[in-house]
Structure 1
Amino acid sequence: MFRAPSAPIGGGEPLPQRVLLVENSRAYTQLVAGAIREKLGLPVTVAATLAEARELLQARDDWFMALTCLVLADADRDGVLDFFLARGLPTVVVSGVYDEALRQQVLRRHIVDYVLKSTPGSIDYLVWLVQRLERNRRIAALVVDDSRSARTHAAALLGMWGFRVVEAADGEAGLAALEADPAIRLAVVDQEMPGMKGVEFTRRLRTRHARDHLAIIGLSGTQNASLIPQFLKSGANDFLHKPFSREEFFCRVSQNIDQLELIGTLQDLATRDFLTGLPNRRCFLQQSEELLPAMQQGAAVTAALIDIDHFKRINDTWGHEAGDHALRALAGVISRHVEEDHLAARFGGEEFCLLVPGLSESAASDYFERLRRAVQELRVEIPGSQVTLQMTVSIGVYRSDDAGASLSRLLGEADRRLYLAKAGGRNRVNSDGQATAPTGRPLALACAGESAPPLPVSARG
């Protein structure tokens, strides 16, 4: 099914979500655990000792990461660090005392970060850090560097922060890796490579991948001042001099990924209907105009407009919240019904729109009749009430095998047939443009005394 541009980067198979918080201060654990649960919706389990942490880790297998202090009743600093490093669990150290020597000692090991409790905004930073690490697991990062040691170092840092890392020893291999793996959203590129320099690689990469899809960070060990603008003007998002500190590297990487997600969120707000999650009218029209010519190559295209029958009655009788539930339920039926190459959207109000390529006349009629029946069989429970909604839809369908048919013509004819479906008694599909009465007879032959169609909405206690 076609979907609006999406950003927050993520999705995919469910991953472990539970956070282990090892801390002997009850007040601090309440603050940190409460913030993570409230803002991120992630489960947090607290342990006050290393022994408790050991029992918890053995009892479950859904751990995602650990936040730990270094002052525990049953372990010293090295014991705490060794415990978590031996288990390969991403670990953040939270300390109440600033000690630069200790900080350097901790960061030389495979520890994600060292955070001071007393720093203003430390809890907000921890929440952001947990969220960043959780999301990184769904993102692939590419490291392009001909130096094996430099490449391995950058890859190890990215892997520690949750990214799935792809390595390439030169520009050609890097371009091939990006084509093969659409999950790559970050490229870390060295300048000094044989054959294709980093700036040229960046230039070629940017012609294929826009800034809202891929972040590029340039690297170089030279002090050439002109290299930074060369990278940036060629399409890089950022630049780092070698050697870099791991903290600076992490901050630059995270900032660029955050920006990608922000761009994606803004795109979602502009293109996706906030209530149903389907693409909105603007997005549908834009995508349809772009994709329609390809759809029409050797195949018929079917346009359909779908309208909930007596929708105002739902809002007037049970309130707008019930109407919202009805709209979301219909959007869910449509989402399950359509296929990957179909375009579907909320067109406005209680009206939805579909554009489907490749259906024969009989297949188009069957396709939308099955959709109509699926809606009629739907039962929508309204939370906090004893109301169960039943609803029906009217559907206007227009199929054209004219390769020159415009989107305006397709939608205009579908809209006319939707009107006929409504006039013919609702809860029906009109695909032939003929006006019929609820009995299926032409409107001119309908009996004046025929009863009105039953209400499409009912409430059950």
Structure 2
Amino acid sequence: MHVALIDPSRVVLKIVAGMLEAGGHTVVAFSNSAAALAHVEADPSVACVLTSLEVEPLGGLELCWSLRALVDERRPLTILVMSSARDDRPLGEVLDSGADDFLSKPPSPQELHGRLRAAERVLGLQRALIRQADTDHLTQLLNRGALMRRAESDLAAASAENPLAMLQVDIDHFKSINDRFGHDIGDQVIRRVAQILRETGETRATAGRLGGEEFAVLMPGHGIAGAAVAAHRIRIQCAAGTVPGLPDLRFTASIGLSEWAPGDTVDSLLKRADVALYAAKRGGRDRVAVAGPDMEPAMVG
């Protein structure tokens, strides 16, 4: 576990950091509570903060409040507080300020590791709930909400030197597949497309299900040329795909591409991919099309 350790005493920092490292934890130590808060805010890999009450410039209780304000449903964080004072009033104030647990200072190795094991169990459950909330249960891809959050992050990092492409993938004639073979077979087709998207092999690519038979793939570091190559590979694999028990059932997919441009939002990037997708549909399906910033679509195969 990645632990941020905060105490004004370098002796305490050295002793407690040694205990944490002996338990297999990664430790970053601070004597300044404001610097520690900034580090925790910037580094989401920090899963636990172990702080003394006696810290500055933010006092221990204020630090706990500030740390708890960083936590939301996307980021679990355990806050443990150490103090040599163990009377009821400080303990109640510490827990009310947002801390999860209280340790004596300096803690014994047994107490410290026991509290951390308990914290890891809780964090594991919280992470499992987050994964469940982010996952489309039919395909095991990201669901729409999780994919849009990932798109916001990728878009914030996009630039001329770090391009970003988006693919929108739609299974052709999907309603007729459901009508002819039933929804169970339709679900198998959706899962097969999801498997193809997971196996694109493109570095940093993230696939998700937008809903129904529609998917999207985010491709940081890819311009239109590279994304088009991946899109054609996906299209070809879909056309060659079969459903177990129904070797004669064939399906195709149409794909729309868009590329980041200055001033883009997730909505505008997705809108252009959608415009391109419908151009591919109008062009005969089983095709790939791209739409530029002017919204004019063009076939790329």
- What is the TM-score when the length of structure 2 is the normalising length? 0.70
Tell me the amino acid that sits aligned with residue 279 of structure 1: L
| CA deviations over 1:344-390 (Å, ceiling 9, x no partner) | 3211111001343554443343231122223334444x3xxx33464
Residue of structure 1 equivalent to 2:67? 206
Between the aligned partners of 2:19 and 2:156, the Cα distance in structure 1 is 45
Distance 2:183 2:298 in 1: 34
Other-structure match for 1:415: 274
Q: CA distance change for structure 1 residues 291 and 184 in 2, over 3 Å: closer, same or farther?
A: closer
Q: In structure 2, what residue type is equivalent to 1:315?
A: N
> In structure 2, what residue type is equivalent to 1:206?
L
For residues 179 and 285 of structure 1, the distance between their equivalents in structure 2, rounded to whole angstroms, comes to: 22
Distance 1:415 1:148 in 2: 54
Deviation at 1:435, TM superposition (A): 7.6
Secondary structure of the residue aligned to 1:305 is: strand
Distance between the aligned counterparts of 1:218 and 1:256, measured in 2?
13
Change beyond 3 A, Cα 1:246–1:320: farther
- Kindly name which structure, 1 or 2, has the bigger radius of gyration based on alpha carbons: 1
Deviation readout 1:429-461 (Å, 9 max, x if unpaired) = 12262589xxx8xxxxxxxxxxxxxxxxxxxxx
- Answer yes or no: is the 8 Å Cα contact 1:306–1:353 preserved in 2: yes
Contact 1:289 1:407 in 2 (8 A): yes
* C-alpha distance 350-148 of structure 1, shift in aligned 2 (>3 A): closer
Quick check: 1:143–1:165 contact (8 Å CA) kept in 2? Answer: no
Determine the structure 2 residue equivalent to 1:395: 255
User: How far apart, in 1, do the equivalents of 2:18 and 2:84 lie?
Assistant: 14
Residue 395 of structure 1 and its aligned partner are, at CA, apart by 0.7
Q: Please tell me whether residue 186 in structure 1 is matched to residue 48 in structure 2.
A: yes
Q: Name the CA distance, whole Å, in 1 between partners of 2:148 and 2:28.
A: 40
* Structure-1 separation of matches of 2:84 and 2:162: 56
Q: Aligned partners of 2:6, 2:46: CA distance in 1, in Å?
A: 13
TM-aligned CA distance change 1:285 to 1:242, over 3 Å: closer
Change (3 A) 1:344 1:149: closer
Contact 2:171/2:214, CA 8 A, preserved across alignment: yes
Match of 1:124 in 2: none
- What letter is aligned with 1:324? D
Q: Of the candidates 129, 137, 153, which is equivalent to residue 266 of structure 1?
A: 129
Q: Compared with structure 1, are the counterparts of its residues 258 and 367 closer, same or farther at alpha carbon in structure 2 (3 Å cutoff)? A: same
Q: Distance in 1 between matches of 2:113 and 2:228?
A: 55
- Report Cα offsets for 1:135-186 as digits up to 9, x if no partner: xxxx455666744897389649x94xxxx23457763699599799975523
Residues 179 and 349 of structure 1, relative CA distance in 2, 3 Å threshold: closer
Q: 2:178 — aligned with what?
A: 315
How far is the alpha carbon of 1:215 from its aligned partner?
A: 0.7
Task: Give the corresponding residue for 1:427.
Answer: 286
Q: Is residue 327–residue 350 contact of structure 1 (8 Å, CA) maintained in 2?
A: yes
- 1:72-96 residue CA offsets vs partner (Å, 9 max, x unmatched): xxxxxxxxxxxxxxxxxxxxxxxxx
Q: How many residues are aligned here?
A: 288
Equivalent in the alignment of 1:329: 192
Paired with 1:341 and 1:221, the residues of 2 have a C-alpha distance of: 47
Please give the TM-score of this superposition, normalised by the length of structure 1.
Answer: 0.49
Q: For the residues of structure 2 that align with 1:143 and 1:275, how far apart are their CA atoms?
A: 41
Supply the distance in 2 between the matched residues of 1:435 and 1:364 (Cα, whole angstroms): 13
Alignment of 1:364-379 (within 5 A): 364-379=227-242
CA distance in 1: counterparts of 2:198 and 2:266, whole angstroms: 22
**2-structure distance, mates of 1:328, 1:273:** 11
Q: Give, in angstroms, the shift of residue 422 of structure 1.
A: 2.1
Partner secondary structure for residue 404 of structure 1 = coil
Show the 5 A alignment for 1:223-372: 223-229=86-92, 231-232=94-95, 235-241=98-104, 252-289=115-152, 291-296=154-159, 301-337=164-200, 339=202, 341-372=204-235
Q: How does 1:75-224 map to 2 (within 5 A)?
A: 139-140=1-2, 146-147=11-12, 151=16, 155=20, 159=23, 164-166=24-26, 171=31, 175=36, 184-191=46-53, 199=60, 202-203=63-64, 206=67, 210=71, 212-224=75-87
Q: Unaligned 5+ residue runs, structure 2?
A: 292-296
Cα shift readout 1:78-125 (whole Å, capped 9, x = no counterpart): xxxxxxxxxxxxxxxxxxxxxxxxxxxxxxxxxxxxxxxxxxxxxxxx
Residues of 2 paired with 1:140 and 1:245: CA distance? 20
